[in-house]
Amino acid sequence: MALTLVKQNEVELPDNQVDIVLANHDLSLWAKPLVSAFYLSEEHDQVIQEYVRYHEDALQQGAPQFHLVLLVNGEPATSMTVTIEGTLARFDDIGTEPSHQGNGYASQLIDYALAFCRQQGVEHCFLDASEAGFDLYKKFGFEPLFRYINYVWCK
Please give the average per-residue pLDDT across 131-150, as a whole number: 84
**Residue 30 in this model has a pLDDT that exceeds 80:** yes
User: pTM for this one?
Assistant: 0.86
Total structural domains within the chain: 1
Does the residue 147 lie in any domain?
no
Does the residue 148 lie in any domain?
no
Does the residue 86 lie in any domain?
yes
Kindly list the distances between the CA atom of residue 100 and the CA atoms of 71, 77, 105, in Å, as whole numbers in the listed order. Answer: 11, 6, 8
Does the residue 153 lie in any domain?
no
Residue 99 dihedral angles phi and psi, to the nearest 5°: -70, -15
Give tens-digit pLDDT for 33-83. 988 777 666 676 788 889 999 999 999 999 999 999 999 999 999 999 999
pLDDT of residue 39: 66
**Residue 4 in this model has a pLDDT that exceeds 60:** yes
**Residue 5 in this model has a pLDDT that exceeds 90:** no
Q: Ramachandran region of residue 40, left (φ > 0), alpha (ψ -120 to 50) or beta?
A: alpha
Does the residue 67 lie in any domain?
yes
Residues 6+ apart with CB under 8 A from 148: none
CATH for 128: 3.40.630.30
Does the residue 152 lie in any domain?
no
Instruction: Place 14 in a pLDDT band, splitting at 50, 70 and 90.
Output: low
Domain of 7 in residue numbering reads as 2-138
